[in-house]
Structure 1
Amino acid sequence: MYGGYLLGIALSLVIYFVPMMIAFYRNHGRYTTIFMMNLFLGWTMVVWVICLVWALFGASRINHASGGSNKYEDLERISRLKSSGDLTEDEYQAEKSRLLNQ
């Protein structure tokens, strides 16, 4: 008897937080802002739609990141791949030169 109500409430909550989930999945630069607006003002539906559009079309952190620290993280990542044998020496050198020339 209560199963239908509980399912309806659970489904409503999932739909209510769709903008937040999309922003989190896309690693959105303003994830926290979208979450807070969705949490407190999403019930107005206008703000919910704004949050949804912002989450879908806003830039992710990857696009906003400067080349400085990410370049070093990428170099460490390809170094680990080379150490594990997933990259050959030639592939490693090619990827390294591509990263350093960005």
Structure 2
Amino acid sequence: MTTIQTIVAIVVGGVIYFLPAIIGASKRNEMAIFWLNLLLGWSLIGWVVALVWAVSKDTPVPIAASQVIVPIPTPTPLDLAERTAQLKQLRDQGLLTQEEFMQQISRLA
């Protein structure tokens, strides 16, 4: 065997050996697949397990409710005017006292 044939054989063998790691490079568990392939790929079972893991579908990661960011809409001047008018109407009807009305107005600002 010539030197070029030896180099080609080593490269092709390396690609075949690390095929599970190459396929699993875009997975969520890419490092685990790589290490399994590197350390146990010499055994046929380890190589097959790494390959099956690399081609299997990723399961979605659940998102905790505390991680969800909900933007709080900022009130527009029209919203503030409408809300102020509603509060004045409630005060005029006697459903809000002057103190409650002022508290609600201060919350709007």
Given the two structures, how large is their TM-score scaled by the length of structure 1? Answer: 0.56
CA deviations 1:14-42 (Å, max 9, x no partner) are 11111111111xx2121111100100110
Gaps of 5+ in 1: 73-102
Instruction: Identify if the C-alpha distance between structure 1 residues 66 and 12 changes in structure 2 by more than 3 Å, giving closer, same or farther.
Output: same
**CA RMSD across the alignment:** 2.3
Which residue matches 1:86? none
Letter in 1 for 2:55: L
CA deviations 1:43-95 (Å, max 9, x no partner) are 001110000011101416xx3363957x89xxxxxxxxxxxxxxxxxxxxxxx
Which residue matches 1:20? 21
Instruction: Identify if the C-alpha distance between structure 1 residues 17 and 4 changes in structure 2 by more than 3 Å, giving closer, same or farther.
Output: same
Greater relative contact order (Cα < 8 A, sep 6+): 1
Q: C-alpha separation between the residues in 2 aligned to 1:2 and 1:37?
A: 31
Q: C-alpha separation between the residues in 2 aligned to 1:30 and 1:39?
A: 14
User: Identity over aligned residues, as a percent?
Assistant: 30
Which residue matches 1:64? 61
Letter in 2 for 1:33: A
Q: C-alpha separation between the residues in 2 aligned to 1:56 and 1:12?
A: 20
Number of corresponding residues? 67
Report runs of 4+ in structure 1 exceeding 3 Å deviation.
65-69
Higher Cα radius of gyration: 2
- Secondary structure, in 3 states, of the residue corresponding to 2:51? helix
- Tell me which protein shows more helix as a share of its residues: 1
Letter in 2 for 1:28: K
Q: C-alpha separation between the residues in 2 aligned to 1:58 and 1:42?
A: 21
Given the two structures, how large is their TM-score scaled by the length of structure 2? Answer: 0.53
